[in-house]
Amino acid sequence: MSLYTLKILEGNRMEIGKSQDISKKVSSMINSAIESIVVLSGEIGIDLAKEIVRKAASGVNTSIITSDAQLANFLEDYRHNYGQEMLKSLHLEILNLNRKISILARIPFVVLVLSIAALIVTFIRDGYTSLSFIVLILITVPLTIIIFFVTRRMRGKLESETGVKNDNYQRTLEEYKELKENLRKRLHITLVPEKINFSILIADNNSLLTSGKLEIYGGSNNSRNELVLTEEMSKDNALKIISFIVNLNKI
């Protein structure tokens, strides 16, 4: 991690580093927070925003202050629909299993109906003493019995799997109810009218001010190599800056 310490004023410690390196520090601060997170930023990457919301869902008191209306709307929607994708995926798996069980339940009856139809046609055409009728009986009866037992065994396995999936779905549903209740209580989103061109992150007692966007960088994102300025500051000073910005429109 390439950082250069600058002595701007006595007691201040400022650093310059690549945005990708700063984002790792930001992500580490968020992931290690156990009591509270406060974020002030004009722009937060979606992946990092989701990380912050997940921390709030786990029970960490979280406040996000932003001037980005689109981000604020995304956070509100993400909070409202938290866990829905996972629940939909589990529900779809259960529906697919039930569909397979239904198909397997029909197969023996379809085979039985076709076998009876073939026997009736052969009986009418050749008589019950004909070789073709006897051969058809020797084929269709064992085949129908085999298909019945094979499909029943397959249905049993699928029904057992469906039961496990249903239990998992119910547990997940209850877990997400608790997580969504945490989000209702723990996550606070504030939209401020003034455009913010810097970011402050407070995670428990650690505070960081940065000139860059709060984001998780990866892949070939060119902005990950941008130089950004950061400063570690006391939590009290960080809260004073945030309070000042939140109350600007009241002045």
Q: Can you read off the two tokens belonging to residue 158? A: 């699928």
Task: Report CA dihedral (6, 10, 11, 17) to the nearest 10 degrees.
Answer: -10
- Cα separation, 134 vs 139, in Å, equals 9
- Predicted local distance difference test score (pLDDT) of residue 226: 76
- Residue ranges of domains in the chain: 4-67+192-250, 84-182
Give the contacts of 25 (CB within 8 A, at least 6 positions apart). Answer: 1, 208, 230
Q: Can you read off the two tokens belonging to residue 38? A: 């406060």
Divide the 251 residues of the chain into consecutive groups of 10 and give the mean pLDDT of each group.
41 69 87 94 90 94 93 92 91 95 93 91 87 89 92 94 94 92 93 89 92 67 68 88 80 51
**By the 8 A CB rule, do 249 and 36 touch?**
no
Task: Report yes or no on whether pTM surpasses 0.85.
Answer: no
- Predicted local distance difference test score (pLDDT) of residue 8: 38
For the segment(s) 4-67+192-250, the CATH number from 1.10.1660.10, 3.30.870.10, 3.40.50.12280, 2.60.40.10 is 3.30.870.10
Q: Can you read off the two tokens belonging to residue 107? A: 């197969």
- Cα separation, 222 vs 214, in Å, equals 15
- Predicted local distance difference test score (pLDDT) of residue 153: 94
Beta bridge pairs of residue 207: 202, 233
